Amino acid sequence: MSQGEPGIELETSLGYMLKAAASALHSAMEDVLRPLGMTITHYACLELLAQRPGLSNSELARGAFVTRQSMNVLLQALERQGLVVRPAQAPVGRALPTELTAPGRRQLKVASAAVRRVEQDMLANLDAGEQDQMRRLLTACIAALTQPPAPAT
């Protein structure tokens, strides 16, 4: 950056503040999941499977924001622990649909309660209207960066 060019004011930069909030949330979630023997990715995988049983490795990786290779390693570990099951062969194509087992659902129930408390702590100083507004604003920010712009007319 050349002299005279304005820099980013970190105290007011929304991008920087979002990163700081995400980092604080990540640390708080790690702190409550670690005693349960879980990582955030482990928790995210179980949560995704509870909400959408039968997701493939690729779908789980996208939903948990990790590579397919990382998710495959995690799924193998979760299978060995008896928390998820996958068929030996894909019923259609190459994707192996994954499902939670009863022990996986039990582990998720405990982890979800811990994560819910973290989120409640994060939002404690916001009323319901502010929480709704935050959801709308974050959704708009995500859409602006992930969806192609509308064609000019």
Domain CATH for 90: 1.10.10.10
Say whether pLDDT at 1 is over 60: no
Within-domain flag for 132: no
Within-domain flag for 136: no
Within-domain flag for 68: yes
Name the pTM for this structure.
0.83
For the chain, how long is the longest CA-to-CA vector? 63
Q: pLDDT, tens digit, for every residue of 81-138? A: 999 998 777 667 667 789 999 999 999 999 999 999 999 999 999 999 999 999 999 9
| Assigned token pair, 23 | 């980092």
Q: Total structural domains in the chain?
A: 1
Within-domain flag for 56: yes
The residue range of the domain holding 96 is: 36-117
* Paired residues of 84 in beta bridges: 100
Q: What is the mean pLDDT of residues 4-15?
A: 80
- Residue of 91, 99, 11, 18 lying closest to 55 (CA atoms): 99
Q: What is the mean pLDDT of residues 36-43?
A: 96
Within-domain flag for 98: yes
- How many residues does the structure list for the chain? 153
Per-residue model confidence (pLDDT) at position 90: 65
74/79 Cα distance (integer angstroms): 9
Q: What integer best gives the mean pLDDT of the chain?
A: 91
Q: Which residues, in sequence order, are CB contacts of 123 under 8 Å at separation 6+?
A: 131
25/30 Cα distance (integer angstroms): 9
Within-domain flag for 4: no
- Asked if residue 57 lies in contact with residue 68, where contact means CB atoms within 8 angstroms, the answer is yes
Residue 119 CA to its chain's centroid (Å): 13
Per-residue model confidence (pLDDT) at position 147: 87
Residues of 93-104 as b/e, b for ≥16 C-beta within 10 angstroms? Answer: eeebbbebbeeb
Within-domain flag for 82: yes
